[in-house]
Amino acid sequence: MGRGDLTNDEWARLAPHLPKSAGRGGRWSDHRTVINGILFRIRTGVPWRDLPNRFGSWKTAYERHRRWSADGTWDRIVQAVQADADARGQIDWSTVSVDSTSCRAHQHAAGAPRRTPRVPKRRSTPRQHRPDEGLGRSRGGLTSKIHLAGEGGLRPLSLLITPGQWGDSPQLVPVLERIRVKRHGGGHPRTRPDHLGGDKAYSSRRNRRYPRRRQRANRRRRGSRGGRPTGFDKERYKRRNEVERTINRLKHFRAVATRYDKRAYVFHGTVTVASLRLWLSP
């Protein structure tokens, strides 16, 4: 087992959630070898063609990553791993914070042709290309921005990719609405943390109204058990550094800190795989 590869315990938690068939009766190449190759590339940032031979064909690793990024497989795997963690009581819902980080785009990340993507036919809706490919001009040149909501255990609950010059405030609601942790016992997925934290970039009236409306709806549904809205809590606000530490852990992956992927949906998959690695780590 090489440095950074999945341990036996991590693989045991991941394997049940992987696709069993490649479609049309085909079979996948060894999942563990290929996924370790994908993780190696995302951790080190090397070109796909430079993957070590122990991971097999570089093209197999690249095509699987591209395909699973396009059809939402990586997103579904992360949601399944999150559901397992929630069932074990390993998600800290007490305070969820929202923040963003900019990622410099490599010169090879620009210049993607504007054409309809080739996506394998699946029952799920494929991830379509953005007209801007999640790239924008800022002071440092071409950049992308990762918006995310992080829980107290320093792991992302949801994320969103935008061009680098987009503001943080308009992305608060889309990021929060992507939090959907399924429950093993059935019922609606959990979408609401106990408390929400964010810096002054998110202090618009629209953003303040959004959690209040959700609180009022929750009180009407649950009655006296629904809780009451609370204002600024200085001690709880100190925990906002948790989302910054989550971003720091994500950007330890060099293919996240610097965007090498031309397509926005592939870069979203890259960040999602880095997030998955954090959920599998002890």
Question: Could you report the per-residue pLDDT of 6-35, keeping only the tens digit for each?
Answer: 999 999 999 999 998 766 656 677 899 999
86 within a domain of the structure (yes/no): yes
114 within a domain of the structure (yes/no): no
pLDDT of residue 56: 92
Angle in degrees, CA 128, 57, 272, rounded to 5? 40
118 within a domain of the structure (yes/no): no
Non-local CB neighbours of 66 within 8 Å, separated by 6+ positions: 266, 269
Non-local CB neighbours of 193 within 8 Å, separated by 6+ positions: 93, 94, 95, 96, 151, 179
Categorize the per-residue pLDDT at 215 as very low, low, confident or very high, splitting at 50, 70 and 90: low
Question: Could you report the per-residue pLDDT of 54-88, keeping only the tens digit for each?
Answer: 999 999 999 999 999 999 999 999 999 999 999 99
pLDDT of residue 126: 47
Count the domains in the chain. Answer: 1
Asked if 256 and 144 touch (Cβ cutoff 8 Å), the reply is no
Non-local CB neighbours of 135 within 8 Å, separated by 6+ positions: 105, 109, 110, 142, 143, 144, 163, 164, 264
Q: Is 266 exposed, middle or buried (CB count within 10 Å of its CB: 0-12, 13-18, 19+)?
A: buried
233 within a domain of the structure (yes/no): yes
pLDDT cut 90: percent of the chain above it: 63
Angle in degrees, CA 190, 156, 43, rounded to 5? 145
Q: How far apart are CA 42 and CA 278, in angstroms?
A: 13
177 within a domain of the structure (yes/no): yes
Asked if 98 and 242 touch (Cβ cutoff 8 Å), the reply is no
Q: How far apart are CA 182 and CA 178, in angstroms?
A: 12
122 within a domain of the structure (yes/no): no
For 16, the domain range is 8-109+129-280
Write down the mean pLDDT value for the chain.
87
153 within a domain of the structure (yes/no): yes
21 within a domain of the structure (yes/no): yes
> At residue 197, what are phi and psi to the nearest 5 degrees?
-125, 150
